[in-house]
């Protein structure tokens, strides 16, 4: 059994992505790690970070992003597919550049991949998620945050990245462009795994968070609209009252120790339970979603009114 890791990134360094830590987190598990590296800005050091890992398992594929051809965030899916197409493993383990796997889960993942290797009804493996927020000691468990996602898929040519690269679908006769088209696409049949993806996409200094959000908005809505959104939002992101959300009481992956030591923006955060004057209220904190979150976490103990981009098998 061979496992390939794969990912894509552009300007990961200047946008504060833990891309080096992400790759390192599964490097002991995989036989290779393929990363599609976009045409980064001159002041970005993503390539240097990746090369500093010093592993011959890593294969960098140089790419050029075209958000006019691949609009509405689909360049993310296109870049993911580029990396996927260069993978040689039986299983393909996808991590976005802000996602990290704790070392305690590597034996669990290896065992699960072996168990399911010859069960070809299973097209993918479904992971649980921890979404860290603001700092490394808080995480989101609100309705608007996805609790599961496909991160390992079979090495099949008709399995493609989907929409803005959050997930995967089976797309026979794919035209190479229509990542957001729904006709003639199929949700993957997946099996669960008792392992978490640690998502650090919302743990950045507030100024870096604003820069990253603007970059994502540009990829989804174009430069002009992204500039307007950025101007209205301001030069930094306020995370809101961290006192209202869950505290993380366990231990982060070892590869994140260096990143966590860099944490120096506590004085910019709001550790109370109330919004400060002028702080933007996020969708997950609006009354409607607070009610749904309460029902999910306290009454039903499962997601309600949620979209699932997979067919869960009892395996």
The one-digit pLDDT tens for each residue of the chain (315 residues) are 999 999 999 999 999 999 999 999 999 999 999 999 999 999 999 999 999 999 999 999 999 999 999 999 999 999 999 999 999 999 999 999 999 999 999 999 999 999 999 999 999 999 999 999 999 999 998 888 999 999 999 999 999 999 999 999 999 999 999 999 878 899 999 999 999 999 999 999 999 999 999 999 899 998 888 888 788 777 788 999 999 999 999 999 999 999 999 999 999 999 999 988 888 888 788 778 777 776 678 777 777 778 899 999 998
Q: What's the angle, vertex CA 93, arms to CA 11 and CA 201, rounded to 5?
A: 40
Cβ atoms of residues 284 and 143 within 8 Å? yes
User: In CATH terms, is domain 3-202 a member of 3.20.20.80?
Assistant: no
Q: What are phi and psi of 195, to 5 degrees?
A: -155, 150
Is residue 142 classed as helix, strand or coil in its secondary structure? Answer: coil
What span, in angstroms and rounded, lies between the C-alpha atoms of 183 and 174?
Answer: 11
Residue with tokens 């949700």: 187
Residue with tokens 């993310």: 76
Residue with tokens 């970059």: 215
pTM for the whole thing? Answer: 0.96
5 Cβ neighbours under 8 A, 6+ residues apart:
23, 26, 27, 29, 30, 32, 33, 34, 92, 93, 94, 95
Delimit the domains of the chain by residue range: 3-202
Cβ atoms of residues 83 and 7 within 8 Å? yes
């Amino acid at each position: 059994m061979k496992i390939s890791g794969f990912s894509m990134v552009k300007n990961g360094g200047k946008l504060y992505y833990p891309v080096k830590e992400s790759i390192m987190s599964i490097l002991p598990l995989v036989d290779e790690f393929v990363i599609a590296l976009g045409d980064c800005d001159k002041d970005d050091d993503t390539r240097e970070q990746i090369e500093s890992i010093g592993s011959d398992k890593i294969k960098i594929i140089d790419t050029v992003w075209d958000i006019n051809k691949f609009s509405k965030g689909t360049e993310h899916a296109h870049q993911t597919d580029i990396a996927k197409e260069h993978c040689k493993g039986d299983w393909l383990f996808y991590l976005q550049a802000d996602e990290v796997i704790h070392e305690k889960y590597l034996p669990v993942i290896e065992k699960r991949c072996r168990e399911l290797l010859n069960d070809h009804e299973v097209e993918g493996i479904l992971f649980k998620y921890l979404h860290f927020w603001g700092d490394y000691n808080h995480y989101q468990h609100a309705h608007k945050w996805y609790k599961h996602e496909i991160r390992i898929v079979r090495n099949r040519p008709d399995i493609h990245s989907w929409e803005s690269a959050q997930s995967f679908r089976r797309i026979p006769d794919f035209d190479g462009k229509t990542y957001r088209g729904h006709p003639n696409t199929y949700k993957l049949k997946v099996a669960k795994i008792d392992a978490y993806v640690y998502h650090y996409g919302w743990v950045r200094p507030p100024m870096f968070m604003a820069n990253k959000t603007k970059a994502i908005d540009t990829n989804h809505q174009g430069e002009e609209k992204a500039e307007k959104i950025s101007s209205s939002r301001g030069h930094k992101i306020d995370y809101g009252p961290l006192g209202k959300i869950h505290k993380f009481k366990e231990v982060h992956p070892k590869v994140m120790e260096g990143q966590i030591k860099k944490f120096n923006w506590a004085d910019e955060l709001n550790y109370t339970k109330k919004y400060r004057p002028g702080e933007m209220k996020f969708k997950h904190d609006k009354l409607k979603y607070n009610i749904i979150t309460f029902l999910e976490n306290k009454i039903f103990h499962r997601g309600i009114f949620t979209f699932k981009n997979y067919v869960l098998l009892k395996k």
